Structure 1
């Protein structure tokens, strides 16, 4: 059996992530001194080969996707492509794959980098929402499941690195145009929504000055529709029937949503290599992101409403203790016409220079700056039959659950599409604000708490990150190590969140004129259908137009509700790191061994500014807060690859890793209250809740063992075991803190001396446990069975994950984002220009984060899902048709089986919190390469 030892050239190419199939095949041919057939494949199969070679020649455990050209990744979304990799899966947000989990850990436990540099995020936390990044301008993605000391990001789950093209590596001029028409399977669910869209990309790559300067540019524009039929419940309280307690529907908020994601992106890469020793690269990325949503539905109070429940109508499922069908009489509802606009603007600039001082020494300098600003303007507009709880025509409403997870069907008697019956104004007394009541003189009147005719959530996020890195490497001449790398890096990040909300009141409202207002003719949009829940048609009007044209007065909610101050904060992090890493290139017992061993020292100085807020006589009083904290971590890592023969490799990885605390948990904003009359259950009169600016990272020591068999240029089999010993996780805790000298916010006086402790509620580090699992993955070209099957193949993976984690009090804890089973499958055919493939990604139940009230992050139980996509296409390059040689066409269907997104409230499968039906999406694409 012949043995081979990869050369430094091969290792360097692999480490740089630019190893192409042709390069590695040629290198192997030289190394092995035998004849190797170099197979040239293009299209999807070409990207499969590139991905396999990235995995094969990496010094770590990685997964990879690769694009044949800019704009030709296998999927229309970066997240969808990543979610097909072994051990990875995605959570959908508004029907689009967005948040990526790695080996059971949520997006907050992995780091995301762009060309090796950590990324800012548009959410409240660190986890990147990948729908911000267009797949059309990326050349590939590499997921590092085991770390090395030189990687400039930290994450217990791993690091996801998105890459742009290197124009000098391309070696030829490329001018490409991609266009794609998109349509949803639902007709317009809202009269002013979209069910059709378009995306287009133009890209240019070229080399100049005898191939010493390369330029790559790509521009992408997208207008992508998405529609949803959504059942949403308020909850399921208990009620008593004949002395027995059963659960009943508290209320529901079903609606239809029409969204349009508009995104313009531009990418520029300039690469210069004036001589064989110097290489410089400048890259820039700009993304303008605008997600517009139109939502219409009817909030239906039930057990928590004002109607009388007819117990004779109850249908009870004794096994689950749930009332599956009931009628409430004399119920008033809220008709909602909502509008939401989520805008984000991302800019990123980076510069990298590598210089070979001589044949042994090289140095590298890298600097980057990235920033994202996000604003949300989310309007709720209310209408109904009369203002307040007691006015207007009531309805008799029934509900019935069908036994599945799809929510309930309603019966009703009123016509909610009648503009004479349904008018603008607050139909229920929800406006419990002292500021609203004081403004309109509603205290102690029949119209108290009735001045809320709508509401606007308006949170803003700004995230800025600057990085510097200086590193050096030296080639070593010994039998164990081929190179030593060392360096310093610095990251400075600041994230700011500002939370605000506004009460909406019709501008003509007063105690003398407390009625409702008909929707003006110019804002009427006919009706929206709610037949999917049995409520028929409802009025549809232009909410954003009414607000912009001044039909409502706005009043800040932060005047009377301190939650906006406790959700507003600034967090800064300064991270200084030093690393040293040795690349292994040895032979042990006749077996070639490659890999790396290193250690990374990370010093973090974090601080946060926020507010300490109290509510006094219905109004908010606040003072600034400022908390600083510092800590350090030592992170050793080891990666070993044992080349059993030319095809088989065994890998071992061991490392200590960290994941930093979520930003919405480690801020300095708190809410304080003092009860002078009665102590709490801890015996304290003071209570404090909010963020904890002294949180430190979660820690894990991980071990990986992988067997890989590369039996074909297009095929491999891999089996992996992984284990993580977890420590210092972050949990909720209530504990005592000293508040000596703190004044009563209501009186300004010091409380008695025996009241100098407070009950503090926040997140803390504590608890421990473990996570373990296995992965099986296969890429199998059917041509290995028989040459007649050339072009057929499949890619499949299965991941199983288990955990045993307890909080600091010994209570079991379930990791967010963890599905204990993850599967993916792609079956493809590509030959003579024709290509077809179908793909499946499947995950079991998990806990996931969604946007809750006021766009605060909320965790819910989400049911597992199986999503099927399909694509067919034809590349005319080999068609022989003159003028069509550079043309290719594709047709895709996403979510073929119309898999819904479903979350539950509690363990009862009938108690559906959310049922979101997105339908299918069809895409017709054309690509032309000059």
Structure 2
């Protein structure tokens, strides 16, 4: 704790001094409904006078600045420029421009968010203040489930208050929809955009064009006592990806140079279809009573086709031929002979349905304000992950073989020179070229089919009472929230075996690709391979050409789990509003959350032994937020809090594999015992952190501010794999020959997630907006927005691997936007940068693994015009370009940028659209 206090003093002193001299740039967008309405009224007042009225992007910035100034917690926020128009095409892209936040791209889309250097697991996402289920395997929200056209604003709480339910350790993201009575007028907005990706149609049957359409309707009835908001958004969005993947880089002999062990490159074509529908009905018969119902539904389908040639090289048992080239300890050019490539035609589909429903009522009587809230959220997800194999013959011991040359490309991956024509269907047949899985499927598996399903369900009940006191302690609030959540993952996996091979007594049959399934060859020109045979893998599955053999291995059963959580949260909060001096004031809140958790999990040991375990615990989470307001232009904020983040769902699973070691049968030492295993831990507790925050903000005008913020978090505990004791009493086992009836001890060790030592994470953030009309009226309409964040950490997420950094942490994160907006014209260019970080990517068997990702800089731009009067008033035209520098996503191993594991090129994306508001 001494280091925590010392660092807090350092941040308090250092940040306060730095705030007097530093100026940065970053977006801060609207957070509070009341402030948003206030800014709208200010805009109307300005319209009546001789001042310039801002709208669109500039209005959103002005609203955000006013809200940031009035809030008593440290918050960043984004407001829609207009109905159905967040500043970016996706919620994740918009959030990633906020100070201290950044995004990781998955399949070319900004999909998950890191807040202040902590991975998505450490944050929580709400919808209208209500905790949501997720379509992913764990807790982190995949933001592309929510159309940006249907979200009115996004609030990111960097410091919590005790009344914030579902708060995260790093921060809390709250997606907010429009409240129709507060909006206060009738509105109808429609939009349509076409989009195109620059890499073209990489696979037969794919497309490089898509579209997005949306509509939002808001109205009020019965003397403005009833409000209605309805919105719908539909999107068909393509992605085309050139994907290079290396198996890794072993050494040639002891201490020799590194050489590529194998490669699995693809061209990947995605088509994402999403339909989102949102609605809100609000009833306010009097000034002291309001009730509303919010509903949201999303239908999400992501279809992927992947085609490529997997090349087992050194790790495939091949010898590197003499004459290779070594540069700085890496073989950059060489030849492998006797190679047998696996021609892959794979297909993946994710089908998700997300439901969210909430009811809220607020009643004021005298000094009391009573609030009740009930919500329900559910996800049903089904995946299909299909691999099919083809090649020159069955098994690694038969030809024809290929001689493959390889050359390191400055782009960061290897190009290949092949001798065989992989686009010839007379040469390439359906088969198992390497004989993989031959111990289970005679002759080897001809593919694999994985069809897991996810169900996630959450019900919550909340109630609170606020009593207004007046004076320094303005009000006291007490409340309670009860959440019931259950999530399950059910695996369903099969080996594919050609029916003709099963019928063959020698199991050495290969089958020509059916003519009706053949497609035009797929080019792999970016790898130096002219082409490969392409066919429809789904059509082959449907044709019955394969037998499906269920994978009954223990590791499949262990993948399955269900987790149940009952969480009761009670809180008390004192809200502060105390005048100081002539123009200043002290505002804020002090409070305490008491969180009681009853968690349990059901699973299987070795895939067939039922296990049901759990744990109960209570955590106390105090918090304090103080805002010293010297005048209207200067605010100094200070926050202290204890926060938690619940473990990943897969970490909490009861499932595990175990084995026995005869040599330890008589041992009484649990660390060297007869039983040992690996799996999950249903007793694991949350990550816990104590944090201190300080922020200084100076406001130049309604459209301009600068801020400097510092934060320090001491993680009391961190979750990582450890050997923990487990009682194997009651588990079946076979004693070794001649041994006694029982082992020396039934205690053994299981390598599982557990709470261990934590560490510190701290950083500095600079942010601001600067309209150029502060200098001269001639530059009215021009401005810049930007931010810079620096983050450090002493946390070792895996003490067994001290060199591994904290997942999701980039030391340097910077964002900047240059904009122009006036008289209907708008244009802006944006850049976001993050330095290298530990990314979570898909590994073998669709498992999630962490790999070091190269730093990246993404540049986007857009230009538009909205008619201000005349018959076309309300019509807008917009042209957008994303990833204009075609920045790839790259991961690599052991700090060597040449030893690339993943190289994914997404190309550029262009959108052209129209919008119209009535």
Output the TM-score relative to the length of structure 1.
0.92
1:93-122 per-position Cα deviation (integer Å, ceiling 9, x unaligned): 100000100000111000100000111111
1:107-154 per-position Cα deviation (integer Å, ceiling 9, x unaligned): 100010000011111111111111111101000000000000000112
Q: CA deviation at 1:323?
A: 1.3
Matched, 1:888 2:876: yes
CA distance in 2, matches of 1:519, 1:807: 48
2:393 match: secondary structure: coil
Alignment match, 1:730: 719
Alignment match, 1:646: 632
Q: CA deviation at 1:719?
A: 0.4
Q: CA deviation at 1:589?
A: 5.0
8 Å contact from structure 1 (residues 21, 53) kept in 2 = no
CA distance in 2, matches of 1:734, 1:42: 59
Matched, 1:429 2:423: no
1:125 match: secondary structure: coil
8 Å contact from structure 2 (residues 32, 67) kept in 1 = no
CA distance in 1, matches of 2:735, 2:868: 78
Matched, 1:20 2:36: yes
Alignment of 1:225-374 (within 5 A): 225-240=238-253, 244-310=255-321, 312-317=322-327, 319=328, 321-358=329-366, 360-374=367-381
Alignment match, 2:917: 929
1:909 match: secondary structure: strand
Match of 1:396 among 399, 403, 412: 403
1:547 match: secondary structure: helix
Alignment match, 2:419: 413
Alignment of 1:523-542 (within 5 A): 523-542=517-536
Matched, 1:705 2:694: yes
Alignment match, 2:848: 857
Alignment match, 2:492: 500
CA distance in 2, matches of 1:594, 1:189: 58
- The 1:855/1:531 distance shift into structure 2, 3 A limit, reads same
2:868 match: secondary structure: helix
- The 1:249/1:581 distance shift into structure 2, 3 A limit, reads same
1:636 match: secondary structure: strand
CA distance in 1, matches of 2:644, 2:407: 48
Alignment match, 1:91: 104
1:71 match: secondary structure: coil
1:80 match: secondary structure: helix
CA distance in 1, matches of 2:78, 2:142: 18
1:678-699 per-position Cα deviation (integer Å, ceiling 9, x unaligned): 6899432321210000011111
1:383 match: secondary structure: strand
Matched, 1:219 2:235: no
Of the structure 1 ranges 125-134 and 754-763, higher mean CA displacement relative to structure 2 is found in 754-763
Alignment match, 1:445: none
8 Å contact from structure 1 (residues 767, 808) kept in 2 = no
8 Å contact from structure 1 (residues 895, 919) kept in 2 = yes
Q: CA deviation at 1:766?
A: 1.3
Which ranges in structure 1 are unaligned for 5 or more consecutive residues?
1-12, 438-449, 614-620
- The 1:269/1:678 distance shift into structure 2, 3 A limit, reads same
CA distance in 2, matches of 1:719, 1:461: 42
8 Å contact from structure 1 (residues 770, 804) kept in 2 = yes
Of the structure 1 ranges 494-503 and 36-45, higher mean CA displacement relative to structure 2 is found in 36-45
- The 1:750/1:547 distance shift into structure 2, 3 A limit, reads farther
Matched, 1:831 2:822: yes
CA distance in 2, matches of 1:589, 1:556: 76
Alignment match, 2:795: 805
CA distance in 1, matches of 2:705, 2:376: 39
8 Å contact from structure 1 (residues 826, 837) kept in 2 = yes
8 Å contact from structure 1 (residues 767, 810) kept in 2 = no
- The 1:766/1:50 distance shift into structure 2, 3 A limit, reads same
8 Å contact from structure 2 (residues 685, 755) kept in 1 = yes
CA distance in 2, matches of 1:915, 1:807: 25
CA distance in 1, matches of 2:87, 2:30: 22
1:783 match: secondary structure: helix
1:308 match: secondary structure: coil
Which ranges in structure 2 are unaligned for 5 or more consecutive residues?
1-28
Matched, 1:551 2:545: yes
Q: CA deviation at 1:715?
A: 1.1
Of the structure 1 ranges 810-819 and 683-692, higher mean CA displacement relative to structure 2 is found in 810-819
1:532 match: secondary structure: helix
Q: Give RMSD over aligned pairs.
A: 2.2
CA distance in 1, matches of 2:797, 2:703: 45
- The 1:308/1:659 distance shift into structure 2, 3 A limit, reads same
Equivalent pairs, count: 881
CA distance in 2, matches of 1:161, 1:728: 26
Q: CA deviation at 1:903?
A: 0.4
1:178 match: secondary structure: strand
Match of 1:452 among 431, 434, 445: 445
CA distance in 1, matches of 2:245, 2:220: 55
CA distance in 2, matches of 1:270, 1:363: 20
Matched, 1:626 2:617: no
- The 1:808/1:843 distance shift into structure 2, 3 A limit, reads closer
Alignment match, 1:601: 594
Alignment match, 1:465: 458
CA distance in 2, matches of 1:920, 1:731: 38
1:429-459 per-position Cα deviation (integer Å, ceiling 9, x unaligned): 101443x34xxxxxxxxxxxx2311111222
Alignment of 1:608-687 (within 5 A): 608-613=601-606, 622-677=608-663, 682-687=671-676
Matched, 1:124 2:140: no
CA distance in 1, matches of 2:796, 2:255: 35
Q: CA deviation at 1:742?
A: 4.1
Q: CA deviation at 1:247?
A: 1.4
Match of 1:586 among 578, 592, 596: 578
CA distance in 1, matches of 2:912, 2:906: 19
8 Å contact from structure 1 (residues 265, 285) kept in 2 = yes
Q: CA deviation at 1:703?
A: 0.6
Alignment match, 1:917: 905
8 Å contact from structure 2 (residues 653, 681) kept in 1 = yes
- The 1:298/1:22 distance shift into structure 2, 3 A limit, reads same
1:540-563 per-position Cα deviation (integer Å, ceiling 9, x unaligned): 111111112222111111x1x211
CA distance in 2, matches of 1:568, 1:691: 11
1:211-233 per-position Cα deviation (integer Å, ceiling 9, x unaligned): 00000000110000011001101
CA distance in 1, matches of 2:83, 2:560: 40
CA distance in 2, matches of 1:38, 1:140: 27
Q: CA deviation at 1:747?
A: 8.9
- The 1:16/1:744 distance shift into structure 2, 3 A limit, reads same
Q: CA deviation at 1:482?
A: 1.3
8 Å contact from structure 2 (residues 31, 68) kept in 1 = no
Q: CA deviation at 1:476?
A: 0.8
- The 1:333/1:810 distance shift into structure 2, 3 A limit, reads closer
8 Å contact from structure 1 (residues 638, 654) kept in 2 = yes
Q: CA deviation at 1:28?
A: 14
- The 1:750/1:61 distance shift into structure 2, 3 A limit, reads farther
8 Å contact from structure 1 (residues 306, 332) kept in 2 = no
Alignment match, 1:40: 53
Matched, 1:780 2:738: no
